[in-house]
Amino acid sequence: MTADAPTRDEPHGGANVAQRLNWLRAGVLGANDGIVSTAAVVVGVAGATASTGAITTAGVAAAVGGAVSMALGEYVSVSSQRDSERHLIDKERRELADDPAGELLELQQLYQDQGLSAETARTVAIELTARDALSAHLAAELRFDQSDVVSPWHAALASAVAFTLGAVLPMLAILLPPAGVRVPVTFVVTLVALGITGAVAAWIGGGSRVRAAARVVVGGALALAATFLVGNLLGTAGVV
């Protein structure tokens, strides 16, 4: 394998922390999707009809369909990632079996490239190889740990749960208030929730919380306005 691998500058356990933060951010974004997509559906239906039954049916269908879609998408994505990771592990395992001496020299060179002297790099490479050669190469060359191989089922479940939790908010906002104010209330609740999820996602990723919140709020407002307008036009035309 090539020695032109990224420098491993994370402390021990840093990859696991980063992975947990990525999962948390994915959960926040999944909830964000649940909020805006379900809100857009129920607001659109509310623009066409005041029937609580129709709004409820559409909202539940949107929540269930969206959660299933998110879960399937996450399952396929993570399955592909896991297959790639397993391929890299198997490839590294074969290389270690075919040419252990060459792999040891490669590991030494990787540590020298990070700034260690040849003697120190050699010592580190020998000791890590004696302890767990495969893990040492995966960490130094690929910044990857065998324990980091994720489960597509866990990812799918987490995505579905996050989306469903997000979908609950606009459902409550559209159903609990009186019919005359349910659409404005849903607009306000949805946009506030989107602002919060956008800011949280940016905080996790280290970006600007104000800009992130503004982006999702503007996008959410446009989506809600568009679906409400379409629903209102269909209702006025007597289609619904």
- Core vs surface per residue 32-57: b (16+ CB within 10 A) or e: bbbbbbbbbbbbbbbbbeeeeeebee
Q: What is the DSSP secondary structure assignment for residue 207, as one 8-state letter?
A: S
Q: How far apart are CA 173 and CA 43, in angstroms?
A: 10
End-to-end CA distance of the chain: 63
Query: What domain count does the chain have?
Result: 1
Q: Domain for residue 142, yes or no?
A: yes
Q: Under a CB-based contact definition with an 8 Å cutoff, are residues 15 and 145 in contact?
A: yes
In a domain, 2, yes or no: no
pLDDT single digits (tens) 57-114: 999 999 999 999 999 988 998 888 888 888 888 888 898 888 888 888 888 888 888 8
Read off the pLDDT of residues 185-206 as tens digits, 9 standing for 90 and up: 999 999 999 999 888 888 877 8
Domain assignment present for 147:
yes
Is 7 among the domain residues? no
Tens digits of residue pLDDT in 160-182: 999 999 999 999 999 999 988 99
pTM for the complete prediction? 0.73
Residue type at 157 in one-letter notation: L
Residue 25 is part of which domain span?
Answer: 14-236
Q: Does 73 or 9 have the greater pLDDT score?
A: 73
Instruction: Give the separation between CA 77 and CA 32, rounded to whole angstroms.
Output: 19
> Does some domain include residue 6?
no
Q: Structure tokens of 122?
A: 């050699």
Q: Do you know the residue count of the chain?
A: 240
Domain-embedded: residue 5: no
CA angle 125, 131, 136 (to 5 degrees): 50
Q: How far apart are CA 65 and CA 80, in angstroms?
A: 23
3 in any annotated domain: no
Q: Answer whether residue 224 is part of any domain.
A: yes
Q: Which residues of 59-86 are buried (b: 16+ CB within 10 A; e: fewer)?
A: beebbeebbeebbeebbeebbeeeeebe
| Contact present, 66 and 163 (Cβ < 8 Å) | yes
- Between CA 182 and CA 42 the distance in angstroms is 10
- Angle at CA of residue 103, ends 101 and 106, nearest 5°: 115
